[in-house]
Amino acid sequence: MSAHTLSNTNVLLGRSMRHITRSLDTIITVTLTPIAMMLLFVYVLGGAIEAGTDNYVNYLMPGILIMAIASGIAYTSFRLYGDLQSGIFERFHSMPIARSAVLWAHVMTSVVSNLLSLVIIFGVGLLMGFHSSAGFLDWLAVAGILVLFTLALTWVAIIAGLLASTPDGAGAFAYPLIFLPFISSAFVPTDTMPGPVRAFAEHQPVTSIVNTIRALYDQRPVNDDIWIALAWCTGVLIAAYAVAMVVYHKKIA
């Protein structure tokens, strides 16, 4: 990304973040469902779930974070769709700014707003008994994986926002992503699942990401999960970015 594009992205990011700060209900909405799920699973269902740990909040936390990100990126798609319908893209393109900066501003807004949501969820988790003795580098690795996952899903959201024909359609793509953690190791160990379900759960991206985050803050070996998680996130990010740019250039041609 050139210095010109970075400068333009920074300006447009400020514009998008002002919209976020003026409507904090977006961040509140994104955090409410994951927090409600965490309360439900810990205080209602947790006693009946054999997760092999005495602290179910620790076991549950990665899946809740993934669910929050999947929910949050739907608003990115919705905001992008709104900009397209309002005609603001045409105004931007009439100015001497890098065209890709318009998309990158939405992407970076998604990263910032999702990180804010994750901080709130972590805070609630601490009140519920979450604890970790992990060091700075472990937490830095956790943050890096969450940011990479957010970037990957955000570019998928960009594609949806560019192709959507209705506001509801812009955010509907996120629903399967929100429920994907339920068929993974996020809530229960995969070895408790029936054969076909277990096979799917163990080979979908959420499981490797959840296992990696859980191992890092529990200070356990991450094994091959970290490489599988990075491969999934990087692969989706590169593919979604490439498709998004093709769709974007056709849209503004």
> What would the pLDDT profile of 169-197 be if each residue is shown by its tens digit?
777 888 888 889 999 999 999 988 898 99
Give residue for tokens 């779930």.
49
Distances (CA, A) of 4 to 1, 9, 14, 95, 245: 8, 9, 16, 13, 18
pLDDT at 205: 93
**CA 240/CA 151 separation, integer angstroms:** 10
pLDDT at 96: 57
pLDDT at 172: 81
Cα atoms found within 13 Å of the Cα of residue 175, Cβ hemisphere only: 6
**CA 225/CA 248 separation, integer angstroms:** 34
**CA 113/CA 182 separation, integer angstroms:** 24
Other beta carbons within 10 angstroms of residue 15's beta carbon come to 12
Q: Which residues of the chain have pLDDT under 50?
A: 4
- Pick left, alpha or beta for residue 236 (phi over 0 → left; psi -120 to 50 → alpha; otherwise beta): alpha
Q: How far apart are the first and last CA of the chain?
A: 21
Q: What tokens does 110 get?
A: 């998604």
Report pLDDT digits (tens) over 144-170. Answer: 999 999 999 999 999 998 898 887 777
pLDDT at 12: 59
- The domain segmentation of the chain, as residue ranges, is 19-80+106-252
pLDDT at 173: 80
Other beta carbons within 10 angstroms of residue 175's beta carbon come to 12
Q: Length of the chain in residues, anyone?
A: 253
Structure pTM?
0.88
Cβ pair 237, 231 in contact under 8 A: no
